[in-house]
C-alpha cells in the first residue's frame, strides 16, 4: 500500500487563511472520495499563535459555508518537507519564506501558491512552470502579485468572505492536480510491482 499524498497549507499565523484552505480542501477531498488517500493540514510561517484556535471570523465564514472545522495553530518546520508532497503558500511572501526554508531545491519546488491553481488567473501558468524548474531556494522569479490571497486579519468579515471565495475557486484546480499526481503515483507503483503471471506447468507435467 502506498503512503498517502500529503499537503500542508501555510499562511502567516495559521489562524485565518491556511486553516480556511485546509477545511475547504478537506471537504473537496471527501466529496471526491479521496479523503483516505490524501492527508491535509496547515501551519504558519510564524509561531506566535501556536496552540490557538482559528480566528473567530474564519470560523464564522466556514460555518456559513457549511464546512467542518477544528483547528490548533502551529508553526511550519523545515523538517516537514521530507514527508510532504505539496506545501501550499497563501501569498507570495509565504512562498519566498518557505522556499528559503527548504533544505534542498527539490524541497523548494514543492512550494506552490494556492491561487496558481485558479483557472483563468493571470500569471498562474508562469507560477506553475516556475515551481517545476528545480531552481535553488531563494532564486526563483517573483510570481504575479495578483496570485496572493490577501490577509484579512486587519479588516472586517467581508475580507474573510472574499478569502473564502478565492480559496474555493483555487481548490478546484488543486484537486485536479492531486488527481493527476495520484494517477501518476499509482502507475509508478504498478510499474515497480507488476503482478506475477500465473504459472502454467509444461504439458508433460500436466499429463
| Residues belonging to the active site | 11, 17, 151
Residue-wise burial string across 134-168, b where 16 or more C-beta atoms lie within 10 A, e elsewhere:
eeebeebeebbeebbbebbbeeeeebbeebbebbb
Residue at grid coordinates 510491482: 193
Task: Quickly list H helices, 81-156.
Answer: 92-101, 105-108, 124-131
Q: Which helix (H) or strand (E) holds 41?
A: strand 38-44
Total residue length of the chain: 207
Amino acid at each position: 500500500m502506498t503512503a498517502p499524498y500529503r499537503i500542508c497549507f501555510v499562511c502567516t499565523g495559521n489562524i485565518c487563511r491556511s486553516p480556511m484552505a485546509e477545511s475547504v480542501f478537506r471537504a473537496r477531498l471527501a466529496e471526491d472520495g479521496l479523503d483516505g488517500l490524501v492527508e491535509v493540514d496547515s501551519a504558519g510561517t510564524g509561531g506566535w499563535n501556536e496552540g490557538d484556535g482559528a480566528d473567530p471570523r474564519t470560523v464564522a465564514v466556514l460555518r456559513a459555508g457549511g464546512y467542518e472545522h477544528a483547528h490548533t495553530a502551529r508553526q511550519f518546520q523545515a523538517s516537514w518537507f521530507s514527508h510532504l508532497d505539496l506545501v501550499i503558500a497563501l501569498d507570495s511572501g509565504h512562498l519566498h519564506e518557505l522556499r528559503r526554508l527548504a533544505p534542498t531545491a527539490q524541497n523548494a519546488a514543492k512550494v506552490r501558491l494556492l491561487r496558481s491553481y485558479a483557472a483563468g488567473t493571470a500569471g498562474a501558468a508562469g507560477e506553475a512552470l516556475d515551481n517545476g524548474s528545480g531552481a535553488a531556494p531563494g532564486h526563483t522569479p517573483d510570481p504575479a502579485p495578483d496570485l496572493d490571497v490577501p490577509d484579512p486579519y486587519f479588516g472586517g468579515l467581508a475580507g474573510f468572505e472574499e478569502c473564502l471565495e478565492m480559496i474555493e475557486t483555487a481548490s478546484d484546480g488543486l484537486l485536479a492536480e492531486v488527481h493527476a499526481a495520484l494517477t501518476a503515483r499509482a502507475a509508478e507503483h504498478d510499474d515497480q510491482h507488476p503482478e506475477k503471471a500465473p504459472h502454467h506447468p509444461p504439458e508433460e507435467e500436466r499429463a
